[in-house]
Amino acid sequence: MRFMKMAVGMLVACVAASILLKGAEAMAEATDDVAVIQTKFGKMVIEFYGKDAPNTVTNFKKLAKSGFYDGTTFHRIVDGFMIQGGDPLSKTPDNPNVGTGGPGWNVPAEFNTNKHVLGVVSMARSSDPNSAGSQFFICLGNASFLDGQYTAFGKLIAGVDVLKKIGSVPTKMDRFGREKSVPVERVVIEKITIVPRDKAPKE
């Protein structure tokens, strides 16, 4: 009889543990959010590298949730390399200082082992490794020369076709005559929203 009670007790404990585990998994799923970038070309969905670049991801989510990115543009497009956006100065058409703006603070570098390949999202910065703020870029192809030198913090899980459309927008030389990267039409980031993964657009 005593052994039967022990067996029943163990069974109850196992069931309780199973319920707790499922609850934890459900909670993890509920907090597994992604970013949706909306443009006139369609939507792109970013999965975050939260474990590899936690502060960068937190900063990006904070800016997105505040509406910081809404109305900014992808102001720099380099064919076969990347598209860059996130500068608040780009909200004003033809602002000569586009490319230098930020949120008013910097995020320390979180260099990691993630590779800069098609669809990877990384932080733009100046020559100072710790100068990233709000500007980011999305790779149009293999850019391995950036590995370990820029903070990769996510990758596209939907919208690669949209990325390629943006990457194909015609460009002109920048005002310094050094790089053919200024899009001839404004590629506006209409909105960036943070949503649960299961609510995001699929491929």
Could you tell me if 181 and 29 are in contact, meaning their C-beta atoms sit under 8 angstroms apart?
Answer: no
Residue 22: the pLDDT is 46
Residue 199: the pLDDT is 87
Could you tell me if 100 and 89 are in contact, meaning their C-beta atoms sit under 8 angstroms apart?
Answer: yes
Q: Which CATH number fits domain 33-198: 3.40.50.2300, 2.40.100.10, 3.40.50.300, 2.102.10.10?
A: 2.40.100.10
Strands 171-173 and 152-158 turn out to be: unpaired
Q: Half-sphere exposure of residue 167, counting CA atoms within 13 Å on the CB side? A: 20
Both tokens of 193, joined, read 């929203």
Q: What is the mean pLDDT of each run of 10 residues along the chain (203 residues)?
A: 48 45 39 92 98 98 98 98 98 94 98 98 97 98 98 98 98 94 97 95 79
Residue 29: the pLDDT is 39
Could you tell me if 154 and 44 are in contact, meaning their C-beta atoms sit under 8 angstroms apart?
Answer: no
38 Cβ contact list (under 8 Å, min separation 6): 189, 190, 191, 192, 193
Strands 42-48 and 152-158 turn out to be: antiparallel
pTM (2 decimals)? 0.84
Q: Locate tokens 């009670």: which residue? A: 5
Could you tell me if 86 and 134 are in contact, meaning their C-beta atoms sit under 8 angstroms apart?
Answer: yes
- For the chain, the structural domain boundaries read 1-31, 33-198
